[in-house]
Amino acid sequence: MKRRDFLASSVVAGAGLGITGLPAASENFSDDDSTQQADTRKILLAGGGFGTTFIKYLAELTGKTRPKICYLPTANGESESGIIRWYEMCAPLNVEPSVQRTFISSYSMDRSWEDVLLSVDGIVASGGNTLNQQAIWRAQGIDEVLRKAWDRGIVLGGASAGSLCWFEEGTTDSRPQEVTVVKGLEFLRGSHSPHYDAEAARRPTYHRMILSGELQPGYACYNDAGIYFVDNEVRRVVKTREDAKVFHVSVAGGQIVERELPAEMIR
């Protein structure tokens, strides 16, 4: 499907969704290049599986011929296998990949967080433990630098902990025994549930927490499906697997309302 056709169909489909609390994304779809160029604060996220195709799309969103894309593996404890996998996923693409560790010393790192993170075109946060990720970022002041990056038009992204981190709050398996609430950086309003199809506890827990008011309404993503946000509005819903889905989840009349958002296949 061509982008113009997709946009037209999305407007029609979106108009019939009747989603409470969902930004009027259809009003912001445009084929006008000048509108696209005016976009600044961009986040591309997925429920899980932020692989080569998602990285490619994020790279395109930067508008650069060969963008610099930095990987922040804080949430997975800077797993060496994860870092190797990052470079493998970037290898087919025309990007300059890099990795920024947070377990550093003054002797091994002679640049500030701002020097590093504000000099790239895109930043991808890893999956892993969101609670630990947030604690480290705040202790190091990386949270404030990431907000500056977002404000300056550096494209942010990630899946799992790397998608959850950008929202006000969401569901996490970062604590022992059960899925609980975690607070994020609050760039995106509302809540988020990643791995909506891949982990049995995610869907019922998300429903229960939204119904009780413990969580705000928000967005739930299957693995291999995600959302491109401009500021706080849904600009595009995408997937890399045919049966992958994205939902907006809210409450109406004391009942959970789960509405599927039409997603476009990207390759």
Residues written for the chain: 267
Instruction: Identify the burial level of 75 via C-beta atoms within 10 angstroms of its C-beta, where 0-12 means exposed, 13-18 middle and 19 or more buried.
Output: buried
Structure-token pair, residue 21: 């609390």
Which residues neighbour 191 within 8 Å (Cβ) at sequence distance 6 or greater?
Answer: 167, 168, 169, 170, 171, 206, 209, 210, 215, 216, 217, 218, 219
As separate numbers, helices (DSSP H) first and strands (DSSP E) second, the chain gives: 9, 14
Which residues neighbour 177 within 8 Å (Cβ) at sequence distance 6 or greater?
Answer: none
Helix (H, G, I), strand (E, B) or coil at 152: coil
Catalytically active residues are 160, 195
Which residues neighbour 204 within 8 Å (Cβ) at sequence distance 6 or greater?
Answer: none
Beta bridge partners of 69: 97, 122
Number of Cβ within 10 Å of residue 165's Cβ equals: 30
Q: Which residue from 4, 26, 6, 3 is spatially nearest to 16, judged by alpha carbons?
A: 26
Give yes or no for a contact between 234 and 45, defined as CB atoms under 8 angstroms apart.
no
Q: In 101-214, which ranges are E strands?
A: 122-125, 155-159, 167-172, 180-183, 188-193
